[in-house]
Amino acid sequence: MRIGILGTGNVGRALASAWALSGHDVVVGSRRPDDEELLSELGELAAAGVRIVGAAAAAAHADVLVNATPGTVSVAVLESIGAPALAGKTLLDVGVGFLEDGTLSHPVVSLGEEIQQAFPETRVVKTLATVDRNVMVAPDSLEGPGTVFLSGEDAEAKKVVRGLVTDLGWSDDAVLDLGGIATARGQETFAVLFTGIAEATGTYEFGIRVVLPARGTA
């Protein structure tokens, strides 16, 4: 599958490497695709066969476009590409926005919803927003199974995204479909609890798991 990733930060790099290693055709979109310093920093991606291109070129390449930009700038980045170029595409959104004081930039309506509202012809699916970049691509690094979530309106797009998540190592039964894009609010606001857990445990590398009642209990 052709995957375009917007964002050259730690999350974008981790996802690009993992999907390239699993056999996908991956490009990373940057505002500075010809910057020699940036290209040097991304040398490991190039070694894995990942190309660095402009944001618009990444969107044009992609069957699935991945938003791994900071949530405070995500809509602006997508607007720079333009709605016509995004129409009909599946957009996998992992972004969470933080303000300078550490509070969420989307405390009421999620970034996932904002993207869907701004680009109604794009099939937005929120996922992987509840784990850090290392656990995203190495769920087997945890002591036990975890749960990740899907939020979105389009069933076919969620099926495609589920497949990409399992390509990262998550089992199919570890992926829980929450429903429509409004449920992305829960994924994003979990960041507040995530930070508290990280401070309490001394690590960002942990997962969460949905535990259901034992069979036969009320």
Distance CA 59, CA 72 (A): 20
State residue 217's pLDDT score.
Answer: 63
State residue 147's pLDDT score.
Answer: 98
State residue 40's pLDDT score.
Answer: 81
pLDDT by residue (tens digit) across 155-173?
A: 999 999 999 999 999 999 9
State residue 36's pLDDT score.
Answer: 78
Closest CA to 93 of 32, 5, 189: 5
- Enter the DSSP assignment of 15: H
pLDDT by residue (tens digit) across 36-47?
A: 777 788 888 888
146 sits in the region (left: phi over 0; alpha: psi -120 to 50; else beta) called beta
Distance CA 212, CA 38 (A): 46
Instruction: Using a pLDDT cut of 70, give the percent of the chain over it.
Output: 99
Residues 6+ apart with CB under 8 A from 153: 116, 123, 124, 180, 181
State residue 15's pLDDT score.
Answer: 97
Distance CA 106, CA 5 (A): 22
Distance CA 46, CA 37 (A): 14
Distance CA 173, CA 166 (A): 10
Q: pTM value?
A: 0.94
Q: Mind listing the domains of the chain with CATH numbers?
A: 2-201 (3.40.50.720)
